[in-house]
């Protein structure tokens, strides 16, 4: 069995996944860009300090290197100030007082010009190294700054950014859901339009639909029209065949057949009369038209009054406008029920049509002999053929039962107030 999936849920799920992926990438990109900008800014300051230190390097009379104290920033004189430097000269190491007891050799072991490393305690250093030549001698310069506070603030900012992105994601999800609801509402309008045009030609020009699903509806309209014409041709052919067979059967009947031949001819005549009656009841209107009780029922009653002039047929129609039911099916249903009622009625038949609780309620009662209780129980029992319950009601009631079953309705057999048979048919609308 084919399992159906929800297109709305699938789109919503895919959009959520894509949105989360974009948000995560945005968060990672923001972290990388901002961290790079901060490090570049700190590195530019370290480059400036390095140039200052190079210019502050001097040699004394013995050729030993030293730094002019007045040209070195005081920030390098405080222990663990977060700003550090070291200079390797041919004579040894010159370093800031802020390094205190740290060994400059360990700090300058890397060969990179710029790198990050863990400092003492919670410090995290950004380091730049430079090799310079001054007065013909090669020197190596190492400058560092503690950036852990900047990175901590960056992490806090990223947390705030993450919360903001979560809030934005929730808002976008709500907007996405609203957008999907509005977008998929068009299918509800299309369904409503198809339901309204189910029993009449589909006019797509009157429906506000997007161009993406217009070709699909065009194909549906063509298919419905094709099926409507095919059904009409089939019914016309059956009616024509029954009419053409009627005359040869009359000739056979005049030849006075005997026994089984005569019974077979009578059975064929009953089938032909049934098909001709169905053709007269349905009329020549296009197949698939909507049922309009105020217009269709009076025409049907006039036809039956000509067939049963001795029976008074009363009608109480409390339905306005067209119903979402096939005209041919309803005319065949009402026509067969009225025909059976008039056939066994003594003098009168009553028809009542009313819409209650989303269902069309059809009541037909007569003053005929009715059905015995055991027969009523038999015809209401599931799986029993109606044409086996009582002669005369068979074919008509069997047709009616098939129509009611096709609409998932029900038919109940009761006793009328005049002592005859009372049929109550309920058909769900929509």
Which of 67-71, 321-325, 345-349, 376-380 is least confident? 376-380
pLDDT of the residue at 255: 67
Average pLDDT of the residues in 37-56: 90
Q: How is the chain split into domains, by residue range?
A: 7-152, 197-288, 290-430
User: Do 290-430 and 7-152 fall under one CATH topology?
Assistant: no
Yes or no: say if 173 and 13 are a contact pair by the CB < 8 Å rule: no
Give the helix ranges, DSSP H, for 59-100: none
Give the helix ranges, DSSP H, for 197-213: none
Per-residue confidence band for 161, with pLDDT thresholds at 50, 70 and 90: confident
pLDDT of the residue at 365: 93
Query: Torsions phi, psi of 316, nearest 5?
Result: -125, 95
Which CATH number does the domain 290-430 belong to among 3.30.565.10, 3.90.1150.10, 3.40.50.1820, 3.50.50.60?
A: 3.30.565.10
Tell me: the pLDDT tens digits for 334-347?
Answer: 988 998 899 889 99
User: How far is 394 from 398, CA to CA, in rounded Å?
Assistant: 6
CA distances from 256 to 57, 248, 249 (A): 142, 13, 11
Average pLDDT of the residues in 370-383: 60
pLDDT of the residue at 212: 75
Yes or no: say if 220 and 187 are a contact pair by the CB < 8 Å rule: no
> Residue 383: pLDDT above 60?
no
Average pLDDT of the residues in 317-337: 85
Per-residue confidence band for 286, with pLDDT thresholds at 50, 70 and 90: very low
Report the percentage of the chain scoring pLDDT > 70: 75
CATH architecture of 7-152: 2-Layer Sandwich (3.30)
CA distances from 222 to 191, 194, 205, 216, 218 (A): 17, 13, 14, 10, 6
Greater pLDDT, 110 or 324: 324
Task: Give 135: exposed, middle or buried? Use CB within 10 Å, 0-12, 13-18, 19+.
Answer: exposed
80 CA to centre of own chain: 64
Per-residue confidence band for 121, with pLDDT thresholds at 50, 70 and 90: confident
Report DSSP letters for 266-313, one per residue. Answer: HHHHHHHHHHHHHHHHHTTSPTTPEE-HHHHHHHHHHHHHHH-TTSEE
Q: What is the mean pLDDT of the chain?
A: 79
User: How far is 125 from 143, CA to CA, in rounded Å?
Assistant: 10
214 CA to centre of own chain: 18
């Amino acid at each position: 069995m084919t399992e159906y999936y929800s297109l709305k849920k699938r789109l919503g799920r895919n959009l959520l996944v894509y949105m989360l992926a974009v948000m995560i990438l945005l968060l990672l990109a923001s972290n990388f860009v901002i961290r790079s900008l901060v490090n570049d800014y700190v590195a530019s300051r370290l480059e400036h300090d390095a140039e200052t230190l190079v210019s502050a390097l001097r040699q004394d009379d013995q050729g030993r290197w030293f730094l002019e104290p007045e040209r070195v920033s005081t920030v390098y004189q405080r222990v663990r100030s977060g700003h550090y430097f070291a200079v390797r000269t041919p004579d040894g190491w010159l370093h800031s007082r802020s390094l205190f007891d740290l060994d400059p050799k360990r700090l300058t072991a890397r060969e990179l010009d710029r790198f990050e490393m863990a400092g003492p305690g919670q410090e995290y250093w950004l380091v730049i190294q430079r090799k310079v030549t001054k007065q013909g001698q090669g020197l190596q310069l190492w400058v560092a700054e503690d950036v852990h506070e900047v990175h901590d603030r960056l992490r806090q900012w990223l947390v705030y950014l993450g919360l903001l992105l979560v809030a934005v994601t929730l808002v976008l999800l709500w907007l996405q859901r609203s957008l999907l609801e509005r977008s998929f509402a068009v299918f509800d309008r299309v369904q409503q339009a198809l339901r309204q045009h189910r029993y009449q030609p589909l006019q797509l020009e009157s429906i506000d639909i997007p161009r993406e699903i217009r070709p699909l509806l065009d194909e549906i309209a063509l298919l419905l029209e094709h099926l409507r014409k095919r059904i009409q041709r089939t019914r016309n052919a059956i009616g024509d065949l029954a009419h053409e067979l009627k005359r040869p059967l009359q000739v056979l009947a005049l030849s006075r057949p005997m026994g089984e031949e005569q019974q077979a001819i009578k059975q064929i005549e009953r089938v032909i009369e049934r098909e001709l009656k169905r053709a007269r009841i349905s009329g020549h209107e296009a197949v698939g038209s909507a049922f309009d009780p105020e217009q269709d029922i009076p025409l049907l009653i006039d036809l039956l009054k000509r067939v049963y002039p001795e029976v008074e047929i009363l009608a109480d129609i409390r339905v306005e406008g067209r119903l979402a039911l096939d005209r041919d099916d309803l005319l065949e249903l009402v026509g067969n029920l009225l025909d059976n009622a008039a056939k066994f009625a003594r003098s009168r038949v009553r028809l009542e049509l009313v819409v209650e609780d989303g269902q069309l309620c059809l009541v037909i009662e007569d003053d005929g002999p009715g059905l015995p209780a055991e027969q009523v129980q038999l015809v209401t029992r599931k799986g029993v053929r109606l044409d086996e319950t009582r002669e005369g009601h068979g074919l008509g009631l069997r047709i009616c039962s098939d129509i009611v079953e096709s609409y998932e309705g029900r038919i109940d057999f009761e006793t009328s107030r005049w002592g005859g048979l009372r049929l109550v048919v309920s058909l769900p609308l929509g």
